Amino acid sequence: MRMYDLIEKKKRGGTLEKEEIRAMIRGFVAGEIPDYQMSAMLMAICFQGMSDEETTCLTLEMAHSGDVMDLSPIEGFKVDKHSTGGVGDKTTLIAGPIVASLGVRVAKMSGRGLGHTGGTIDKLEAIPGFQTALDTERFFEIVRRVGIAVAGQSGNLVPADKKLYALRDVTATVDSIPLIASSIMSKKLAAGSDGIVLDVKTGSGAFMKTLEDSVTLAGKMVAIGTGAGRVCTALITDMDVPLGYAIGNALEVEESIRVLDGGGPEDLREVSLRLAAEMLHTAGRGSETQCYELAAGALRDRSALRTFAEMIRAQGGDGRVAKEPDRLAKAPFCREVKAEESGYVAHMDTEACGIASVLLKAGRSTKDDVIDPAAGIVLKKKYGDAVAKGETLACLYASDEALFAQAEQTLRRAYRLEPARPAARRWIYARVSREGTQRFE
Ligand code: URA
């Protein structure tokens, strides 16, 4: 098999055989296939797509390219969740502790921010002392004792995705349905949980910009998960507007704590509750309605907040943060972005909001960048809000005032104001399971 021939085949719309995909992934991980050939293949896949069979083969080959977690030493049903990536998406910090506080175990491997989207590991590391590098023994011990542990992906879990993602990130080949499906599902299968709930984002801040593409992506991932013997469902949730008001690591932890403490923004609370309900349902804890009620109860009686504090302590962090979020890092400088005209916020370019936060150093522009945990944005106006000229649209936070100019320009361009109030939006559009797609009108 010559990589040149496989690239040629895919470029012409051909179907790669199982053995060809296997040889390609093994050769790439072993360093025998150079980046330039794999980049050409990735671009060919972006243009020509992959059949369901090819996508499944690619996923399984990637999942077995390194270590595979065996969670069987932890008794009971283990559930995982994964978001396709968004701006202000901090639902893991809320849904995870809710589910764990209700006795369903969450053994979660999470990632860092990618491009304009944030990552759970970066958010948790904004908590003083919090450790995300856990060896297997400690990871298992915390899941058993607290009900939840969130760790960074261990060194040799799905090395194929690490190498492929780094290449996709710099070759404009991220937004391909088979490549996203295989990237996410290879990690989820290798992480070993019995149940997988996917949060597939849709809109201007998501990798999938349209609802139809998001439903297609969700369908493919659910088919791969169920085909591999896992209980797997997906919710399609809105990412045309940032979730909640905070974008940036410590700011997002603080907003999550407010939700866990019974308050916080309504969109963030609702999406987190629905994801938590889906995770509980996957674990057989009752109907979706019953599970939603259970989840809401864990916020009301603060048991999820207590579990979050316990998880922070177990992972070496300052658990007092859960009661006193003021202990989180604060940026020394703040700039208010004022509206230059009056109107209603009729559109938000959510990807641009994410980019503005990266410009403040809340995320990375290159993979070696060091992020500033205190940096970010607190939105004061979101989609549908009335704005008067001179009112504050958002507050920017940074450790270096020189970063404000470009971030402010980018954020300003993300807002479109119009004279009429726009139609209300949904937060959750559809649920995808092995039974099919249920759309919420
Ligand atoms: N998240 C991932 O883990 N992989 C992708 O390809 C896109 C989002």
**What digits encode the pLDDT tens for the residues 268-315?**
999 999 999 999 999 999 999 999 999 999 999 999 999 999 999 999
pLDDT of residue 364: 87
pLDDT of residue 303: 98
**What digits encode the pLDDT tens for the residues 310-341?**
999 999 999 999 999 999 999 999 999 999 99
Ligand 1 atom at shortest distance from the alpha carbon of 165: 6
| Pairing outcome for strands 386-387 and 246-247 | unpaired
The residue ranges of DSSP E strands in 18-113, in sequence order, are 79-83, 106-110
pLDDT of residue 118: 81
CA 241 to chain centre: 15
pLDDT of residue 154: 75
Task: For ligand 1, atom 1, name the residue with the nearest CA.
Answer: 84
Task: For ligand 1, atom 3, name the residue with the nearest CA.
Answer: 184
**105, 162, 187, 361: the active-site residue:** 187
Percentage of the residues of the chain whose pLDDT score is greater than 90? 92
pTM for the model: 0.95
- Domain spanning 3-49 has what CATH number? 1.20.970.10
- Interval 387-410 mean pLDDT: 98
pLDDT of residue 155: 75
Q: What tokens appear for 219 in the block?
A: 């369908």
d(CA 24, CA 63) in angstroms, rounded, equals 14
Q: Does the domain made of 79-324+428-439 have the CATH classification 3.40.1030.10? A: yes
Alpha helix (H) residue ranges in 64-205:
91-101, 120-124, 136-146, 159-170, 177-191
d(CA 185, ligand 1 centre) in Å: 9
Ligand 1 atom at shortest distance from the alpha carbon of 179: 6
Which residue type is seen at 398? Answer: A
Q: Does the domain made of 331-418 have the CATH classification 3.90.1170.30? A: yes
**What digits encode the pLDDT tens for the residues 19-37?**
999 999 999 999 999 999 9
pLDDT tops 90 at residue 213: yes
Q: How confident is the model at residue 153 (pLDDT cuts 50, 70, 90)?
A: confident
Q: 82 catalytic, yes or no?
A: yes
Q: How confident is the model at residue 166 (pLDDT cuts 50, 70, 90)?
A: confident
Whether 357 contacts 377, CB under 8 Å: yes
d(CA 241, CA 237) in angstroms, rounded, equals 11
**80, 89, 161, 238: the active-site residue:** 161
d(CA 359, CA 430) in angstroms, rounded, equals 33
Q: What tokens appear for 123 in the block?
A: 């958010």
pLDDT of residue 115: 78
pLDDT of residue 43: 98
Q: 12 catalytic, yes or no?
A: no
Q: How confident is the model at residue 58 (pLDDT cuts 50, 70, 90)?
A: very high
Whether 365 contacts 170, CB under 8 Å: no
**Nearest to residue 137, comparing CAs of 162, 107, 157?**
107
Q: What H or E segment, with its residue span, contains residue 354?
A: helix 350-359
Handedness of CA 34, 84, 362, 308 (dihedral sign): negative
Ligand 1 pocket, residue 207 CB under 6 Å: yes
pLDDT tops 80 at residue 52: yes
Task: For ligand 1, atom 6, name the residue with the nearest CA.
Answer: 180
Alpha helix (H) residue ranges in 171-302:
177-191, 211-227, 249-260, 266-282, 288-300
Q: 108 catalytic, yes or no?
A: no
- Interval 342-350 mean pLDDT: 98
Domain ranges of the chain: 3-49, 79-324+428-439, 331-418
| Mean pLDDT over each residue of the chain, to the nearest integer | 96
